[in-house]
Chain A
């Protein structure tokens, strides 16, 4: 039962443009959502999070949007930079318990 889904295994974006990564979830009990960035052979690095009481959170070039009615969240990166090339995981949790991860989206930023 895949409670958190990232339907796009890969995404290619030109440098300077906007990158939009999407994530869907099925468990309406999730109350906290996070995005992590991962390079090969390294642990995931926390990027940005959002509580279920909000619909938007912004941190520099990164903005996360949450649509609870659609059970959908997205990560916007603008402008995209070559160093943003990595695998991005969305994750969800309920009452600070285990993180449930999506399968990841590999983002490639082309110069």
Chain B
């Protein structure tokens, strides 16, 4: 079974631009979560989508948004990029089992550099 895929793997943008990142979950997984990893802050939760609806949201400004399509693929958008948005953006998918024992599997990430 194919793992979580993310595109592009690397991206360079300038301040003020916007960017869209894409994530394809493991087949059959209905939940997609996004995380930001920076050296200073570690892995921070951005948001989670389930059945095309945002189910959970972290403490990030409104410049960070996302969506999920009917095939569970997800996109994340960052508008008006700032230097501090430079990070590794990770997508994770899971079955979203109701039991609570739900393991998230991560993609390789998109390395975003803002100049």
Contacts and interface: CB of A to CB of B under 8 A. Distances in A.
A49 B103 contact: yes
Interface stretch (A19-27, A59-67, A69-77, A97-105): A97-105
B32 interface: no
B3 to A, nearest CB: 9
A99 B91 CA distance: 12
Contacts of A41: 88, 108-109, 111
Contact of A44 (B6, B96, B106): B106
Nearest to A4: B42
A98 B106 contact: no
B56 interface: yes
A85 interface: no
A96 B98 contact: yes
B103 A97 contact: no
B101 A32 contact: yes
B103 A46 contact: yes
Interface in A11-45: 31-32, 34, 36, 41-45
9 contacts: A34-B104, A43-B6, A43-B90, A46-B103, A49-B101, A96-B100, A97-B55, A98-B45, A99-B43
Interface of B: 4, 6, 33, 35, 42-43, 45, 48, 55-56, 58, 88, 90-92, 94, 96-109, 111
